A and B are shown apart, each in its own frame.
Chain A
């Protein structure tokens, strides 16, 4: 399964998805969120919703100097936290800013495509779709 943005125009900016994503770790707050909802140049223009697109040849993994980010079959990456030195190169390599950062741990937080956030979007902005190799996701 892959997380996708179905219709960003419906996003109201409540950030319930961001809190849901971070809450998976058990705590409140936003430290572990792997979704970014930000205004598209001012709130009146609506919102940009950033989720990991689970690239098939992921640039974040390609630049990781320690092999902490392992490409997964079918796209996306898995973080081996013990190998990560917190250099931030993965974050810089993702041109849609979908590698998020846990400031307290100084390590990336990577979307695992679980879809927990989808359950907390009241406006059907997000969806979890079947992953078919070769199909692109918006």
Chain B
């Protein structure tokens, strides 16, 4: 890498001693580029084996990549931690201004350990870390208010990122998230709970520096090539126009969209919550992550009259996308857009992973329907499919649980079903609640094999739609393709490029781009590095007790119609057995 690039600077923060130090870790960045590669290496270094994720020594790691602040679409920050939700690898990516702010503040990674004795937030700029008292922000019911206070108290307008947790994080729900720039999230696997366990309410970080490139002329040429691809080619059009919500209609017609806890895979009532209809009737603004011209973030405005005054309205901006329409819409039987937007809004306020919350709500509904729990277990709330006001009350009660059942539910459906039953319809894979893809066996093998049990690990759902819907592939062929895709994605998340840009950033382009930052890797070398990073993640998972044998698969996936008709126990088992031999 280029000698004076501050990418190799790692900021170590100790919340117990309220101290910080910066160390040069060129060794890690030269070996793993940045992002997920470096964060995985730091996790191995910093996370003691077998530690309680809420222990003082449990680390929070953020890492960005060499292309951050240099090329468009390199807008992601990788967060790494020991997940309180799964007990092994915790990894979550977010955009907003997070990555640019960390890079411009002069760091490539941040490691936070220790535990404060009182609520604090961190203010990071100009090479300093200030520990600010956040006592007054603790317990606020809407996390966005805490962010507003930090915004008003700190400098760096337009250049800063503001991370914060909500009540669910404070109460250490294992699927609590960390929100950045109001609408972006380190969503999955419970980073918010780790913040909460450390009394860390938030982080404000900003900076504004130059990044030297190896060849200024080539830099401009390559920049224009990527920028033009992002703004003019069809590669990004889907995200730019209707957004990911465009998939609702097609997945519903394919019978691949989970409905009412996957009791069905399509609904006749989809019309109003398709991406096209929401855009037509409710879309108010589109916004972008810093240094990404695509603007995929879609905000709807929800206008609600107050009951006691006919000329008094509450207007709330609500961010929506495919996953939210699935998890807080069809999965819980809501197909009326305003009802859905209201539910999304409360989920934002308490600060939890929207996918996990949707799956938790739908599992609870089915438990209640089957009389496996009582109304008292859920604080007397009369829940049923499609009833958004009752779900809103339930979300508040899961974020602040008072019954033993809701305390279990706040740890996700894997844990809750191990206590209360209902495993056969607890829609989790590797203890992580499912995303909105009942596309076929590749999708499920993808969730099960992915290092973080996310659909984004290897896009098995895409393989179902492109291949298995038409052709036969053996489980081994599917697993080979999934692992290859996962290796490529390790590189994308190490240079910290948004996965939406995967059509632009092929390994050839990546090789050219990182060369300008002084990294010399051929395409083949990048592929090998991707495989190595993936295995490094699995080394951590296995060290912390993960085993393919322990994976529990809900029976429901075999019962509900899917577009391929190929989801069988034999198929999944053969795929898993083959993957076990390759990975372990």
Contact = CB atoms under 8 A, between A and B. Distances in A.
The answer to whether A and B come from one shared complex is yes
Contacts of A82: none
Nearest to A25: B210
B293 A16 contact: yes
Interface string A53-84: 00000000000000000000000000000000
B291 A14 contact: yes
A38 B158 contact: yes
Contacts of B151: 42
Interface in A25-71: 25-33, 36-39, 42-44, 46
B387 interface: no
Interface stretch (B269-277, B282-290, B388-396): B282-290
Given A16-B72, A44-B285, A30 B159 contact: yes
A75 B151 CA distance: 34
A104 B208 CA distance: 9
Contacts of A12: 286-288, 293, 295
B159 to A, nearest CB: 7
B285 A28 contact: no
B223 interface: yes
Interface stretch (B57-65, B193-201, B212-220, B361-369): B212-220
Chain B interface mostly helix, strand, loop or mixed? loop
Contact of A30 (B69, B213, B216, B285): B69
B210 A27 contact: yes
B158 A104 contact: no
A103 interface: yes
Contact of A29 (B69, B285, B293): B69
Q: Which of A37, A120, A122 gathers the greatest number of chain B CB atoms within 10 Å?
A: A122
A16 B126 CA distance: 23
A14 B295 contact: yes
A13 B100 CA distance: 13
Contact of B287 (A16, A36, A43): A43
A44 B302 CA distance: 12
Contact of A15 (B157, B219, B291): B291
Given A38-B158, A122-B231, A31 B209 contact: yes
Given A16-B72, A42-B148, A27 B213 contact: yes
Contacts of A22: 210
B317 A27 contact: no
Nearest to A26: B216
B352 interface: no
Contacts of B100: 15, 30
Chain A interface mostly helix, strand, loop or mixed? loop
A13 B210 contact: no
B320 interface: no
A26 to B, nearest CB: 4
Given A44-B299, A46-B285, A19 B291 contact: yes
Contact of B158 (A29, A39, A103): A39
Contacts of B71: 28
A85 B168 CA distance: 50
A43 B227 contact: no
Given A30-B208, A43-B287, A36 B223 contact: no
Contact of B209 (A23, A29, A39): A29
Contact of B220 (A15, A23, A30): A23
A27 B212 contact: yes
A29 B100 CA distance: 9
Interface string B165-181: 00000000000000001
Contacts of B159: 30
Interface in A89-135: 103-104, 120, 122-123
B70 interface: yes
Contacts of A44: 182, 285, 299, 317
Contacts of B317: 44
A16 B208 CA distance: 15
A42 B69 CA distance: 22
A14 B290 contact: yes
Given A28-B219, A43-B182, A104 B295 contact: no
A122 B211 contact: no
Contacts of B210: 22, 25, 27-32, 104
Nearest to B290: A15
Contacts of A25: 210
B180 to A, nearest CB: 11
13 contacts: A12-B287, A13-B287, A14-B289, A16-B227, A28-B71, A28-B211, A29-B208, A30-B208, A33-B208, A39-B157, A42-B144, A42-B151, A42-B182
Given A28-B219, A38-B158, A123-B295, 4 more contacts: A28-B210, A29-B69, A31-B210, A120-B293
Q: Top 4 A-B pairs ranked by shortest CB distance?
A: A38-B158, A44-B317, A14-B288, A31-B210
